[in-house]
Structure 1
Amino acid sequence: MNLELRQLRYFVAVADEMHFGRAAARLHMTQPPLSQAIQALEASLGARLFHRSKRSISLTAAGAALLPEAKRLLAQAQLLPELARRAAAGEAGRLSLAFVSTADYSILPPVLREFRERYPQVQLDLREATSDVQLEELAQGRIDAGLLILPLPDKSKTELNCLKVLSEPLVLAAPTGSKAIHGKDAVSLKAVSELPLLIFPRRIAPAFHDAILACFRDHGLTPLIGQEAIQMQTIIGLVSAGMGIALVPQSVSNLKRPGVEYRALKEKTPVIDTGLTWRRDNDSPVLHAFLKLLREK
């Protein structure tokens, strides 16, 4: 069965007018072709839609059941051009976005809030993932974009584009009550170098991992690695438990955890960059709408 919207429009017009002549006039056509079209529709459906007499017509049970669904389909069909226009303009559709946990304490919430306000018809698929996982997801085409720690590995630069959205220094996260930080606004690495360092595995974000260790090495210090953890929340939790210190991006200080205090470092520290990364061959209008918003920041 191959139903056409034209047939449904004819059926609705006759059902509304309950008169073939008035329905034909409403449709700007003559009555015979309209009657033939309704008969063809009934034949396709295998059911009569109207009771006919010389003086009147009325809906059959099948016609009464079909009428609201036919009106719904016609109404939806009227929305299709606008839907296509909005999708082409990036105003509707779906955006799959991954993000590192540090972005959740800084750039991500305000950007998502503004994006939702601008594009309420876009469905957001959000997932937290480490930088290495995001790179794999991008390579497989399972996400549209990822907010991750820069720089990108050299092997990824030919396939991925990148937009830097945040630069921030490292700060110290230490257990509350540590003598080395008591009463101080800024702390020297040397003062805390004997405490275990809590850090994530190098495979998660090699450049970020190396930058943390370089902070110690550049000042003639060798940190004692106490524990590795994948998630930043876990690292801060370990600091709260008194298991050591951590060097974290400044935005992580927005994660208020009992038992943890944040301090600036007296030494010059590397800047940690966060960026949005996406495949060069991804021409999604929704993605480009998201990029436009980020470039305005």
Structure 2
Amino acid sequence: MDLLRHLGFFVAVAEEGHFGHAADRMGMSQPPLSQGVRRLESRLGVTLLIRGSRGVRLTTAGADLLPRARALLDGREQFLDAARRQRESRGAVRIGVIAALSDLQVAALTAAVRAAAPDPDARTVIISTAPTAELVDAVTGGRLDCAVVHHPALLGELRAGPVLKLPRMLLMPDGHPAARGKPSLRALSGLACATAPRAHGTAAFDLLADTLRAKGLDPEFLPAPGDRDALSAVVAGRAFALSADLRLEAPGVRAAPVGEELALRVRVVRPDPVPQQDVPDALESALAGMS
């Protein structure tokens, strides 16, 4: 028997409380629906529903099995959705990036990967944004072809390209004393640092904290995975932040360049062997142009 189909009959009747209503919901007549539920009960060896003149109600076994039946049906839909995504992405290049990259940088990376193909119009590029640890797992598991991740980071058996340093801007509340004249990191004392949570890249987070301490600043940290979260904290006067978007402008924010020691350090990671070598090469070339 088609177990999932018959479980669908059972769930519909249980939720509607009536065979006729369930049949309407399923777009079928009542007799085959009733027969299908009885066939399921026979196959399972338990009675699921008590029939009455006013409708049906669940038996003890039916009440126990109903959420399990729903879970199986939900799993079927999830499976079909995953298969659809695989079908739609067949032949596509799947790239992961960290949220610290700006929208313009991600667009430039996408364009570079497409341009590197023999026929750019035939290459589809799918971009995913996630923390470094998740990107490493996705490349290792074959769900991504390669990824741009924070450095330093634990990479396991993945191959990694050179460390590339992307310049960043220091974002400060416009009314803060540190924003007057030449910006000074020490003058930011009292403000938190809005940056990606430590869980998004433990080693990179620790490196940033150590660098700030070496410059005489030991701030609290506010979780801000991307520029939108960081800007909100800066405009509210609660924090300063670092952004790789060199063109970023916002009301209430003063932006100033910072030295190389606070640059965004990234690497392109890929499996070994890599399916399409031109993809990480294009990413590294584009990132090098941003350095």
Give the deviation of 1:174 after TM superposition. 0.8
Contact 1:164–1:273 under 8 Å retained in 2? no
The list of structure 1 runs, each at least 4 consecutive aligned residues, that deviate by more than 6 angstroms after superposition, is none
Give the deviation of 1:232 after TM superposition. 3.5
More displaced, 201-210 or 227-236?
A: 227-236
Contact 2:153–2:204 under 8 Å retained in 1? no
Deviations 1:115-162 (A, max 9, x none): 334422112111111212211212322111111111231xx24x1111
1:275 corresponds in structure 2 to 267
Q: TM-score, normalised by structure 2?
A: 0.58
Q: Distance in 1 between matches of 2:95 and 2:281?
A: 15
Cα 1:95–1:269 change in 2 (3 A) is same
Flag the structure with higher strand content. Answer: 1
1:221 corresponds in structure 2 to 217
Cα 1:219–1:114 change in 2 (3 A) is closer
Structure 2 residue 259 is the aligned partner of structure 1 residue 260: no
Aligned residue runs from structure 1 range 140-179, under 5 A? 140-153=141-154, 156-157=155-156, 159-164=157-162, 166-179=164-177
Q: Percent identity?
A: 20
Structure 2: give runs of 5+ residues left out of the alignment. 1-89, 287-291
2:183 corresponds in structure 1 to 187
1:290 corresponds in structure 2 to 279
2:7 corresponds in structure 1 to none
Q: Distance in 2 between matches of 1:165 and 1:94?
A: 26
Give the superposed CA RMSD. 2.6
The residue matched to 1:254 in structure 2 has which SS? coil
Cα 1:208–1:293 change in 2 (3 A) is same
Cα 1:263–1:218 change in 2 (3 A) is same
Contact 1:215–1:270 under 8 Å retained in 2? yes
Deviations 1:226-248 (A, max 9, x none): x22333421222212222112x2
The residue matched to 1:221 in structure 2 has which SS? coil
2:233 corresponds in structure 1 to 238
Give the letter for the 2:261 counterpart: T
Cα 1:198–1:107 change in 2 (3 A) is closer
Contact 1:211–1:270 under 8 Å retained in 2? no
Contact 1:169–1:269 under 8 Å retained in 2? no
Tell me the matched-pair count: 194
Give the deviation of 1:273 after TM superposition. 1.7
The residue matched to 1:164 in structure 2 has which SS? coil
Contact 1:173–1:239 under 8 Å retained in 2? yes
1:115 corresponds in structure 2 to 113
Structure 1: give runs of 5+ residues left out of the alignment. 1-91
Q: Distance in 2 between matches of 1:160 and 1:203?
A: 20
